[in-house]
Amino acid sequence: MNAAINRRITLAARPVGMPKESDFSLTEEAVPEPGPGQALVRVLYLSLDPYMRGRMSAGKSYAAPVGIGDVMTGGAVGEVVRSEARGLKEGDLVEGMFGWQEYALCTRGAARVLPDSGHPPSYALGILGMPGATAYFGLLEVGQPHPGDTVVVSAASGAVGAAVGQIAKIGGCRIVGTVGSDEKAAYITDELGFDAAVNYRTANDIGAALDEACPGGIDVYFDNVGGPMTDAVMQRLAFKARVVVCGCIHHYNLTEPYLGPSHLRHILVNRARVEGFLVFDWLPRYPEAFARLGAWLDDGSMTYREHVIEGLENAPDGLGMLFEGSNFGKLVVKVAER
Amino acid sequence: MNAAINRRITLAARPVGMPKESDFSLTEEAVPEPGPGQALVRVLYLSLDPYMRGRMSAGKSYAAPVGIGDVMTGGAVGEVVRSEARGLKEGDLVEGMFGWQEYALCTRGAARVLPDSGHPPSYALGILGMPGATAYFGLLEVGQPHPGDTVVVSAASGAVGAAVGQIAKIGGCRIVGTVGSDEKAAYITDELGFDAAVNYRTANDIGAALDEACPGGIDVYFDNVGGPMTDAVMQRLAFKARVVVCGCIHHYNLTEPYLGPSHLRHILVNRARVEGFLVFDWLPRYPEAFARLGAWLDDGSMTYREHVIEGLENAPDGLGMLFEGSNFGKLVVKVAER
């Protein structure tokens, strides 16, 4: 073990606009030794998520930015290979913010020991992890859908969006997803049970497409994207509509503030509620979400799709795919075989 | 009475941008006879309010637009001069949507009989009427201020804004108002007890002025204006901030949609809530608001200022003042002596 090398991807520069290769460095160090209370984790899967773009910038966000030269932040699943921590033992599968590296040290408090649920370990980065909890609490606690409501979710084939739509479907809602390809449109309607899909890349008029998909207006909008899609949705809110502001990936790589029409009048006339949502605020209730989502996977009322990239060194490219929307399903990087 | 004339101001044309004289007509008709269940009201005071601009346009708003040729809509206070309605008797002071005219017919259900509270009858159009209820329910039910919060209110010397600030002050908040003149700034700080004022017409940098007035960020924003002020406030929201979208007078006379920076990222990062508010949704609880506001007026914890215009024929000019911000206090038109 002493001779083993830990490959890591560090932040080399703060990106301007879309992150590029030179914003990252692949560095090597010796695999660290766990001290008292620590365990050494061998990373199996790394998660790629839109929030990572915010951590690469110095501006205000929910959390402190990644420092230049520091390992890129990120959730990962790994296997405990040595432990000096009570409650963590060799062979345990754990999930935590292990970062973009092959080995990480962690404490018991910073790791979730994965139950033997029969689901693939990587699901703990998606439907049975942060994105799943995001969909579950964001939709149910902030969006507060009622049976019969029309629920629109953007980035609907993504990790969060696909779960939002399926949970809303289970809850008796009419569900409409916005996506960036016909293949994704077919996927959400044919495989996930969405009632309609709007392809923002091919629709001549996004507003007209939304009108057709949502003839009674939009009761709940779960927003992952911002930008022109959100502008179009805001003009079609129903009375007492709820908008879950979960992400605005359209804005993350812009070098100037996004300018668009004001939403105030639509919010006012409809007495709508627009509310920001961050999943970490719901941490104490994650087990509830994972139990329900796991049961829905087991009984077939929910399906889940991953997009797996092989090799830690390809994580920066993967992040680029996320911002181009060229992934299809929850993006994970396979770092090692179990 | 039969020979008496009812002067009325009707909508002659739908305004483009700011309403102008030719959008209104002064017409005359015979004073109408009350039928069974109706009372004839002689109007004493007419209220001028920003929402009236919305009713002059054909677009979607909370209520149907005023038809071309119809009497302009508006709240008014008057005296019952003849009654065929049970529960309304000659000499009663009543408040209702009597419109821009000297005489109106009304039913018992469409009139609020004013108690003999010792306050001037015109107060029923302001602090003890719809604007007062707007401030009370919008601030307390949607804004949900806590003692110690920093509350910003725009159009702070207006009918709603002045009440919002004073109620927040009673509730132990730090209150900051935005106004359009130094005279109004002095009024809200010296007479109404605001902690700070920002004059948007003279501030070189609205953002810097807000930073100085709100060093800990903005917990509650009660928005009457929209536009650049709102854009600046949104960038300074505190964690879990609440924004009451009550009006956006800056937008009402624009002929193109107002374009500005997206607020989504600020809403997201702060998990803020932005919610539309319409006072009519709170109608069943108006008596609670009027009782509290009246008591605060009586014990001196609240003051109230009116801007009185003489003569029904000057109502269109008065409405223009409202959109220019050249009124100072709640705008009412004195139509007749009691």
* DSSP per-residue codes, A127-161: TTSHHHHHHHHIIIIII---TT-EEEEESTTSHHH
Cα distance between residue A34 and residue A15, in whole Å: 33
pLDDT digits (tens, 9 = 90+) for A108-129: 999 999 998 899 999 999 999 9
Range in A71-80, A217-226, B198-207, B318-327 with the lowest mean pLDDT: B318-327
To the nearest whole angstrom, how far is the Cα of B250 from the nearest Cα of chain A? 11
Test B263 with A263 for CB contact under 8 angstroms.
Answer: yes
Which amino acid, A65? P
> How would residue B59 be classed by pLDDT, with cut points 50, 70 and 90?
confident
> What is chain B's mean pLDDT, rounded?
95
Of A246, A261, A276, the CB nearest to B257: A261
Range in A130-139, B159-168, B225-234, B255-264 with the lowest mean pLDDT: B255-264
Q: Please report residues of B whose CB lies closer than 8 A to that of A269.
A: 60-62, 276
> How would residue A61 be classed by pLDDT, with cut points 50, 70 and 90?
low
Of residues B142, B150, B153, B165, the one with CA closest to residue B275 = B142
- pLDDT higher than threshold 50 for residue A271: yes
Question: Which residues are CB-neighbours of B302 under 8 A, at least 6 positions away?
Answer: B127, B163, B166, B167, B170, B293, B296
CB A60 within 8 A of CB B269: yes
Helix ranges (H only) for chain A are 51-55, 130-137, 159-170, 182-186, 206-213, 227-234, 249-252, 264-269, 286-298, 315-324
pLDDT of residue B275: 98
Number of helical (H) and strand (E) elements in chain B, helices listed first = 10, 16
pLDDT digits (tens, 9 = 90+) for B148-162: 999 999 999 999 999
Test A265 with B277 for CB contact under 8 angstroms.
Answer: no
A118: helix, coil or strand? Answer: coil
Per DSSP bridges, beta strands B93-96 and B150-154 are: unpaired
Cα distance between residue A278 and residue A294, in whole Å: 21
Per DSSP bridges, beta strands A38-47 and A103-107 are: antiparallel
Question: Which residues are CB-neighbours of A156 under 8 A, at least 6 positions away?
Answer: A162, A164, A165, A177, A178, A179, A184, A188, A194, A197
Map tokens 């003489």 to a residue: B310
Cβ atoms within 10 A of the Cβ of A59, count? 9
- pLDDT higher than threshold 50 for residue B1: no
Of B246, B259, B281, the CB nearest to A260: B259
Helix (H) or strand (E) holding B54: helix B51-55
Which residues does residue A24 pair with via DSSP β-bridges, in sequence order?
Answer: A11
Test B251 with A264 for CB contact under 8 angstroms.
Answer: yes
pLDDT of residue B325: 85
The residue among B225, B264, B275 with the most chain A CBs within 10 A of its CB, best to mutate, is B264
pLDDT digits (tens, 9 = 90+) for A183-193: 999 999 999 99
> How would residue A223 be classed by pLDDT, with cut points 50, 70 and 90?
very high
- Give ipTM to 2 decimals: 0.86
**Quick one: average pLDDT of B189-206?**
96
- pLDDT higher than threshold 60 for residue A1: no
Range in A18-22, A137-141, B205-209 with the lowest mean pLDDT: A18-22
Of B267, B272, B278, the CB nearest to A271: B278
- pLDDT higher than threshold 80 for residue B26: yes
> How would residue A250 be classed by pLDDT, with cut points 50, 70 and 90?
confident
How many Å is the Cα radius of gyration of chain A? 20
- pLDDT higher than threshold 60 for residue A25: yes
